[in-house]
Amino acid sequence: MSFNHRKIEEKWRNYWIDEKTFATKIDSEKQKFYALDMFPYPSGSGLHVGHPEGYTATDILSRMKRMQGYEVLHPIGWDAFGLPAEQYALDTGNDPAVFTEQNINTFRRQIQSLGFSYDWDREVNTTDPGYYKWTQWIFIKLYEKGLAYVDEVPVNWCPELGTVLANEEVIDGKSERGGHPVVRKPMKQWMLKITAYADRLLDDLEDLDWPESIKDMQRNWIGRSEGAEVEFTIDGHEDNFKVFTTRPDTLFGATYAVLAPEHPLVEKITKDEQKDSVQAYLDKVQSKSDLERTDLAKEKTGVFTGAYAVNPINGEKLPIWIADYVLMTYGSGAIMAVPAHDERDYEFAKQFNLEILPVLEGGDIENEAFTGDGKHINSGFLNGLNKEDGIEKALEWLEENNKGTRKTTYRLRDWLFSRQRYWGEPIPVIHWEDGTQTTVKEEELPIVLPKTTEIKPSGTGESPLANIHDWVNVTDPTTGLKGKRETNTMPQWAGSCWYFLRYIDPNNTNELASKEALNKWLPVDVYIGGAEHAVLHLLYARFWHKFLYDIGVVPTKEPFQKLFNQGMILGENNEKMSKSKGNVVNPDEIVESHGADTLRLYEMFMGPLDASVAWSTNGLDGARRFLDRIWRLFVTDENMLSEKIQEGNDNDDLVRIYHETIKKVTQNFEDLRFNTGISQMMVFINEAYKTDYVPKSYAEGFVKVLAPIAPHLAEELWSILGHDETISYQPWPAFDEKKLEVNEVEVVIQILGKVRAKMMVDKEATKEEIEEKALNVDAIKERLEGKTVRKVIVVPGKLVNIVAN
């Protein structure tokens, strides 16, 4: 008979919630373990089968660690501000708060139906004023330290969404959310100075137990490059300009210079006879959308200004060009072009017939730029040096002669932090009528988002909050000075930058979390979520955490010691699940038809946690079949303990496999290799079916290791085994290394690397004994007839390889 998952799962789900089985004692004496899930954005479409994959992984670890005697913090919450709810509210005329609350209720119900061992008293919600009070507080601290500032910058304006977006939120010239077109537009915006932390964000990656691919993505995003800033004067002109280069050693090979179209000197230095063509070029560049600028057809374009720069190293005159392959936003917006040794400059020089002068030996500059290493030539005092020494000597020369300095630049830009939207944390700043601006006093926090029915973006770049006069207009009670509140709100990423801190002390009204609790519980021991947050969330959260570390709020430099990215669950047709493809699997239906335990088991057994694997209904059935097999082994049709489970000592047929199972499963779970751990559990059950009886102690040990994967079923089996209390805090079973040993081991006998026979030998047998025995095996003797044995290799306990011809 198969077990009734609906009844069993409901029973234990209610038990855990009613008894608060998984409440964390935050000041416990036990060793701590903090297992964190990336908290979900509670979308209107509900939970997806992809969500439970990562959640099950952390849940297994949490349940195992509890049984191993740790105090476990395993919380969940809601990243509930953000564009989709607001867009939906706009489209349907609903209040985003109401809509969000409904979504959260759905998510909570769905997550609870899967039996995750969250501490439900620690739920956080980024849209709760009690929570975002502290998001605002952190903003004020950033402001006080000069890390939050207003700047007029060219921003990514998305007309469709009516808001600006951070660089990280723009993909191929379109908004990450919704895929709407994005254009460049100068606007006054709040910025966070993440660049001040660029070096630390880069260097501290070294000590983190994170996937190398994620670390690399962050390294590339930060994009530190070391080189020199070199000063160029302009022939017959007062002004000069700086260029950034990583190859100061190639300065002798510079044959022209390029300014970005937006460079402030462009207008000043352009000669009269070039004015028309330069203006025409600038017009053309400006009308290009971001999409066109990143277009794949990368033909170089540009125009000559008529002006000449002077190469500081040899006094040569270099024509100054304008071209959009030089970006105003990187370095100084100007470059020295060394076409012989830079691919982009080479292309440009070919296009416009500019001089190409090699300064490094090797390569064939007739056909392509040479970017490798070689001896310097045509380079005055650098001649004969290699790349590394050349760079060093050039840097020394530049500094001695006041022509340039060592300089490090970054690809990372400051974080654009304002959104012209309603559904976000209000930025706690007041602009006063005397032209000053201040942050709100801490005791006035939180600045609560006002209720309104008018949440439509104005489209002019002003937030809908600007129309709520009661809220916007303030008067200082002591001075009578009038002012207006900042009407921009924070981006969605703000709330998720620190939520893992709030879980530690979620109801604290005096501080974001108590110092003692933070000291005990940080860092997060394991953090599991999707790879889509590789740069956005994970970089921002690290930045805020480092800042909080600097002002003494948190005790660790990094928030997440170990990070793991779960893979994607694809549709049955091997494609990404999506409504339009009709291949979405709804977890509610699986819980109903197969049970939560089956879903958990199946998702963990599909393959390695980090792989993307297609959903398979047959595979799901197989997972259920395994649970049924366990049930039938333990329980009779009358729901009594099966006679096959017997009190008493070891069963010799089962003893080794039992201890091996405990060992492997424990190790595999620890390593997040759930698929192999489960396979070992299947091996045990297969063996248990073949033998006459299963000692009760083995049965109990097995149910304990099953509990993290299939907790409802395990609880039920545990009670059928005669226990009154939850299995959740029962000690994790131990294995006995001695029981794994065998007296005789099978050794394979190979001839020339091919397996020809097998034999049993004593575990303690010496190499000589094994060799002798192997040569006396009949099948081997036959094969060696007429051949000379040249060599015999013996690997004790494993194999014998005979080299004979």
How far is Cα of residue 700 from the mean position of the Cα atoms in its chain? 38
Nearby residues of 625 by Cβ (< 8 Å), 6 or more positions away: none
Number of residues that bind RNA (CB under 7 A): 80
Site for RNA in 401-430 (CB under 7 A): 409, 411
Q: Are 547 and 197 in contact (CB under 8 A)?
A: yes
Among positions 353, 367, 618, 743, the unique one binding RNA when judged by CB under 7 A: 618
Place of tokens 């009269």: 272
Three-point CA angle 770, 774, 775, nearest 5°: 120
Site for RNA in 626-655 (CB under 7 A): 626, 628-629, 632
Minimum gap (Å) between residue 214 Cβ and RNA: 8
Query: Pick from 412, 243, 270: which is nearest to 342 by CA?
Result: 243
Residue 118's identity, in one-letter code, is Y
Site for RNA in 254-313 (CB under 7 A): 260, 293-294, 296, 298, 300
Q: Interface with RNA includes 555 (CB under 7 A)? A: no
Q: Are 326 and 260 in contact (CB under 8 A)?
A: yes
Among positions 399, 516, 753, 766, the unique one binding RNA when judged by CB under 7 A: 753
- Judged by CB, which is closer to RNA: 227, or 428? 227
Q: Interface with RNA includes 579 (CB under 7 A)? A: no
Query: Pick from 763, 764, 746: which is nearest to 755 by CA?
Result: 746
Among positions 291, 551, 755, 760, the unique one binding RNA when judged by CB under 7 A: 755
Pick the piece of the chain touching RNA (CB under 7 A) from 498-506, 583-591, 618-626, 723-731. Answer: 618-626
Among positions 97, 153, 217, 474, the unique one binding RNA when judged by CB under 7 A: 217
Minimum gap (Å) between residue 432 Cβ and RNA: 38
Where on the phi/psi map is residue 383: left (φ > 0), alpha (ψ -120 to 50), or beta?
beta
Q: Are 713 and 734 in contact (CB under 8 A)?
A: no
Site for RNA in 437-466 (CB under 7 A): none
Name the β-bridge partners of 431: 437, 484
Burial 654-665 (b: 16+ CB within 10 A, else e): bbebbbbbbbbb
Among positions 622, 641, 697, 777, the unique one binding RNA when judged by CB under 7 A: 622
The helix-helix angle for 696-706 and 617-634 (nearest 10°) equals 150
Among positions 31, 45, 102, 220, the unique one binding RNA when judged by CB under 7 A: 220
Among positions 453, 788, 791, 805, the unique one binding RNA when judged by CB under 7 A: 791
Give burial (CB, 10 Å; 0-12/13-18/19+) of 375: middle
Among positions 275, 758, 781, 787, the unique one binding RNA when judged by CB under 7 A: 758
String of contacts with RNA for each residue 159-178, x by CB under 7 A = ------------x-------
Among positions 614, 721, 777, 784, the unique one binding RNA when judged by CB under 7 A: 614
The edge-to-edge listing of strands for the beta sheet with 429-432 is 437-439, 429-432, 482-485, 473-475
- Judged by CB, which is closer to RNA: 183, or 517? 183
Q: Interface with RNA includes 42 (CB under 7 A)? A: no
Q: How many Cβ atoms from other residues are within 10 Å of residue 696's Cβ? A: 15
Q: Interface with RNA includes 593 (CB under 7 A)? A: no
Site for RNA in 714-733 (CB under 7 A): none
Query: Pick from 351, 299, 304, 306: which is nearest to 325 by CA?
Result: 299
Among positions 204, 607, 644, 796, the unique one binding RNA when judged by CB under 7 A: 607
Among positions 385, 481, 748, 784, the unique one binding RNA when judged by CB under 7 A: 748
Q: Looking at the chain, how many residues does it have?
A: 805
Cα diameter, the chain: 112
Check the annotation: does 393 bind a ligand. Answer: no
Pick the piece of the chain touching RNA (CB under 7 A) from 83-91, 192-200, 692-700, 749-757. Answer: 749-757
Tokens of residue 316, six digits: 């040569």
Site for RNA in 221-260 (CB under 7 A): 221, 223, 225, 227, 244-247, 260
Pick the piece of the chain touching RNA (CB under 7 A) from 21-29, 394-402, 477-485, 789-797. Answer: 789-797
Site for RNA in 666-695 (CB under 7 A): 673, 675-676, 678-679, 682-683, 686, 689-690
Q: Interface with RNA includes 113 (CB under 7 A)? A: no
Site for RNA in 316-335 (CB under 7 A): 324-327, 330-331, 333, 335
Pairwise CA distance, residues 648 & 658, whole Å: 15
Q: How many Cβ atoms from other residues are within 10 Å of residue 95's Cβ? A: 15
Residue 215, classed as helix, strand or coil, is helix
Binding residues for ATP: 579
